Chain A
Amino acid sequence: MLRYLLKRLLATIPVMGVVALFVFSLLYLSPGDPAAVIAGDIATEADIARIRAQLGLDQPYLVRFGGWLWALAHGDLGTSIFTSLPVATLIGQRVEPTLALTLCTMIVAVALAVPLGVLAAARAGGWLDRIVMAVSVLGFSVPVFVIAYGLILLFAVHLEWLPVQGYRSWHDGFGPFISHMILPSVALGIVYMALIARITRATMLDVLAQDYVRTATAKGLAPHTMLIRHALKNAAVPIVTVIGIGVALLIGGVVVTETVFAIPGLGRLTVDAILRRDYPIIQGVTLLFSAVYVLVNLLVDLSYSLFDPRIRY
């Protein structure tokens, strides 16, 4: 197990190296000039050229890539071209809102989706199954921003129960924190709930069709014990995989939700950086995302052995 873990962790190094090379090259080749964005509309060409030179953007590809790698090797992600703040600081500011949104969303999604998926499978073809599937289709089909605006209109504007936008840190108290998290995590959670509920139902149906389930039922095992202790455990591997991918996607940024609720998360940091060509930020967050994907996949793989004793590392 330890050997496997070490092997997988070491494998992240070449993966991130390839990502670094790929991202840097793509940014180098893509159109856009941060110096022009910085200088503003009124600036002259000469001003832009001076700013470009000052930022080192007129240097050849290899010099820039080498400089970035050298800094990276020393633990320095660079400095934002626009704000002059370290990329690590900017990422640090965004990690908490993103993790909070991820956690709350997954709690909402998993807490609703898994029981609903299990019940839908248990009552396959019945009214409950139909309702769960209809809700799932709706969750998939309605864009998240529509759900978000609907929630804002009802709970923030009309009922005035919850705030419209913004993020309050956990350090400001649980009340402000959770009140700012409810609407975005519900809006986003509905989408993930739909996905996880469908996967749960499908895998549960497969498991429930197995011989051992019929035998257990024939022997008089209580239905809820059979469903939760036996069937759900055996169906857990694909469900956990989907949840893991969901977590990775959420950490990678949910731009629409972050934009609608004005949450300063990593998704908006990335998109804003792309729009203004703030290369060090784009490079920094892309590396972070690749590391998160690798680690989440590793955790998901490791969790398989908890649910299925046949899987050993």
Chain B
Amino acid sequence: MSVDFTKLQGHCRRVALGLAVATGVALSGPVLAQGKVLRFVPEADLRSLDPIWTTAYITRNHGYMVYDVLFATDANFHVQPQMVDKWEVSKDNLSYTFTLRDGLKFHDGAPVRSADCIASVERWAKRDVFGQRLGELTESWTAVNDKTFRLKLKKPFPYVLEALGKPSSNVPFIMPERVAKTDAFTAITDATGSGPFKFVKEQWVPGNKVVYVKNTDYVPRREAPSWGAGGKVVKVDRVEWIYIPDSATAAAALNTGEVDWWQQLPVDLVPIVAKNKDIKVESVDPLGSIGMLRFNHLQPPFNNVKMRQAVLAIVDQNDYAMAIAGDMKNGKPCASYFTCGTPMASTAGSEALTGKRDFERAKALVKEAGYKGEKIVLMSATDQPIVNSQALVTQELLRKIGLNVELAASDWGTMITRRSSKEPVEKGGWSIFHTWFVGPDITTPALNSALRGAGEKSWFGWPTDAKLEELRDAWFDAPTVAEQKKIAEEMQRRAFETVPYVPTAQFIIPTAYRSNLSGVINSPVTFLWNVEKK
């Protein structure tokens, strides 16, 4: 059968012409006048607006955009005033009086008052681990006037400013009183803050885009920015967080300049992205994150300290650093229970982790523990590469010393649900899971919740260690930094004996941005003020 193509060819020509016109129109599409726009690819999708309700880092970062804080920690680990202008401490160390800076306003134009600060701090103190400690010791918060408020303590607490200047989740952000009066276990939906950016709620598309505009009423401090402290000078008109779930697409978007900054660049893409001369690949996070191997202390076999010591004897942090970071430039050993590079970190007792990796000793410890081949459930979340890569290393290690390991791979949501089970493995329980904390979250005994020994009240894994708890209490009472360090060292020695968990490695996830950006702040939290786009 033959077909006359003449008419079809005519149609094809017309279609091709139409497409060409459409493409031409597409390429000359209108550009909306929005001033200087910083397009930023965040580490995750912003799902909740409440940085007190959730400890998710993406919500913490959102908090830093829209809220301000009373105090902030700087790059030297010193707490600096931010919203506070001046403060006084009574001679008996039981009373703190804070006075706010002039010109502080919420995004709705209302002035920031003492009542707003008190309500915000009280809500935070119901959820945050450091805040809870402060809350236990608080007798009252009172507003002296609209700009001055007072904290009265039941007993001296040397960490009041450290708590209020806490850099990571949960951060005591200041909200309007009407918002801060919300129950601490109910999410707020009103993102009115007094911070350097305003959240544009009507343009928020969860799973895709978050829009902030410069808060032109914001009065920055005059000091240079240093981590969360200092002047928060905004140098762009608008910031768009564009969530790109696929890393190859994000790399292409950065390459073409569709986005200006990709917060967390996967290590395997570093060589590809770094080839582009218009892109800077940097490690701006001085503390990085710390991987963790957590045992279930309630169930056999890791309710036996010898089994935990056996695992400690064979963990080689270099293996984990390589598995997580891909190279030893972005990953390194950190044999401390407190973030390496911070004041409380030390090498006390760390020979248990840095000495010769001794498989024979580990096998002997397993034998002494009376292990008879019971199933060990090692949980992993395959949608979390940092978790999964650690779990694969651990699986191999445990098999080498003859343990009967079952890798329970699931998604993160399933894993963190299962880890709340205190049942034996036969009834849906677990033996080991991996996770990681960002550096600022485990810098001190006050913050490191995995280092508690309060049994079933502890964080998942529920270790019981009265001595560890005693030392923690003593740390809270230690009046000087020298004494704090001494107690932190004692806690670490104890931890290397009883092994509540094993720190696996310290790693940094690089960031990548177009070279027309300047002023990126080196900090464990990504801040978007001070960043200029040329």
A277 at the B interface (CB under 8 A): yes
Interface residues on B, range: 35 or more
**Known contacts being A264-B207, A275-B413, is A152 close to B249, with CB within 8 Å?**
yes
Which parts of A256-295 form the interface with B (CB within 8 Å)? 259-262, 264, 268-269, 272, 275-277
A33 at the B interface (CB under 8 A): yes
Interface pair A93/B26, CB less than 8 Å apart:
no
Chain B residues within an 8 Å CB radius of A172: 29-30, 32
Q: How far is the CA of A182 from the CA of B25 in the complex (A)?
A: 13
Q: How far is the CA of A261 from the CA of B28 in the complex (A)?
A: 21
**Known contacts being A119-B3, A164-B252, A173-B30, is A37 close to B413, with CB within 8 Å?**
yes
Chain A residues within an 8 Å CB radius of B255: 157
B27 CB contact (under 8 Å) in A51, A161, A277: A161
Chain A: which residue is nearest B416 at the CB level?
Answer: A36
**Known contacts being A47-B127, A262-B244, is A82 close to B256, with CB within 8 Å?**
no
Interface pair B47/A157, CB less than 8 Å apart:
no
B49 at the A interface (CB under 8 A): yes
A54 CB contact (under 8 Å) in B22, B183, B242: B183
Chain A residues within an 8 Å CB radius of B417: 31-33, 36
B274 at the A interface (CB under 8 A): no
Q: How far is the CA of A304 from the CA of B243 in the complex (A)?
A: 43
Interface string of B406-430 (1 = CB under 8 A from A): 0000111110111010000000000
A245 at the B interface (CB under 8 A): no
A83 at the B interface (CB under 8 A): yes
CB distance from A16 to the nearest CB of B (A): 25
Interface pair B26/A44, CB less than 8 Å apart:
no
Interface pair A272/B207, CB less than 8 Å apart:
yes
CB distance from B37 to the nearest CB of A (A): 13
CB distance from B379 to the nearest CB of A (A): 12
B146 at the A interface (CB under 8 A): no
Which parts of B409-456 form the interface with A (CB within 8 Å)? 410-414, 416-418, 420, 435, 437, 441, 449
Q: How far is the CA of A119 from the CA of B256 in the complex (A)?
A: 40
A149 at the B interface (CB under 8 A): yes
Q: How far is the CA of A33 from the CA of B419 in the complex (A)?
A: 11
Chain A residues within an 8 Å CB radius of B4: 222-224
Chain B residues within an 8 Å CB radius of A275: 383, 411-413
A84 CB contact (under 8 Å) in B129, B187, B253: B187
Interface pair A152/B245, CB less than 8 Å apart:
no
Chain B residues within an 8 Å CB radius of A50: 185
Chain B residues within an 8 Å CB radius of A44: 129, 449, 457, 459
B56 at the A interface (CB under 8 A): yes
**Known contacts being A45-B460, A173-B30, A224-B7, is A262 close to B1, with CB within 8 Å?**
no
A259 CB contact (under 8 Å) in B15, B206, B245, B256: B245
Interface string of A49-71 (1 = CB under 8 A from B): 01101100000000000000000
**Known contacts being A83-B206, A262-B243, is A160 close to B258, with CB within 8 Å?**
no
Interface pair A260/B246, CB less than 8 Å apart:
yes
B189 at the A interface (CB under 8 A): yes
B76 at the A interface (CB under 8 A): no
Chain B residues within an 8 Å CB radius of A90: 206
Q: How far is the CA of A276 from the CA of B417 in the complex (A)?
A: 11
A262 CB contact (under 8 Å) in B129, B186, B242: B242
Interface class of chain B by DSSP: loop
Q: How far is the CA of A181 from the CA of B533 in the complex (A)?
A: 28
Interface pair B245/A122, CB less than 8 Å apart:
no
Interface pair A208/B1, CB less than 8 Å apart:
yes
Which parts of A17-63 form the interface with B (CB within 8 Å)? 31-34, 36-48, 50-51, 53-54
B26 CB contact (under 8 Å) in A122, A152, A182: A182
A165 at the B interface (CB under 8 A): yes
Interface pair A149/B248, CB less than 8 Å apart:
yes
Interface pair B29/A176, CB less than 8 Å apart:
yes
Q: How far is the CA of A179 from the CA of B244 in the complex (A)?
A: 18
Which parts of B387-420 form the interface with A (CB within 8 Å)? 410-414, 416-418, 420
Write 24 A-B pairs (CB below 8 A) sorted by A numbering. A31-B418, A36-B416, A36-B417, A37-B416, A38-B187, A42-B437, A44-B459, A47-B127, A51-B185, A82-B206, A83-B47, A83-B206, A84-B49, A123-B3, A149-B248, A165-B244, A165-B252, A166-B258, A174-B29, A176-B26, A259-B245, A260-B246, A260-B248, A272-B45
Query: Which residues of A does B touch, CB under 8 Å?
Result: 31-34, 36-48, 50-51, 53-54, 80, 82-85, 90, 93, 111, 115, 119, 122-123, 149, 152-153, 156-157, 160-168, 172-176, 178-179, 182, 208, 217, 222-224, 227, 259-262, 264, 268-269, 272, 275-277
Query: Which residues of B does A touch, CB under 8 Å?
Result: 1-4, 7-8, 15, 22-23, 25-30, 32, 45, 47-49, 53-56, 127, 129, 169, 183, 185-187, 189, 205-209, 242-246, 248-249, 252-253, 255-256, 258, 383, 410-414, 416-418, 420, 435, 437, 441, 449, 457, 459-460
Top 6 nearest A-B pairs (CB, nearest first) are A175-B29, A40-B55, A179-B26, A264-B208, A176-B29, A82-B47
Extra pairs beyond A93-B205, A178-B26, A261-B249 (18, CB < 8 Å): A36-B420, A43-B54, A43-B55, A54-B183, A82-B206, A83-B206, A153-B252, A156-B252, A157-B252, A166-B242, A172-B29, A174-B22, A175-B29, A262-B243, A262-B249, A262-B253, A264-B205, A272-B45
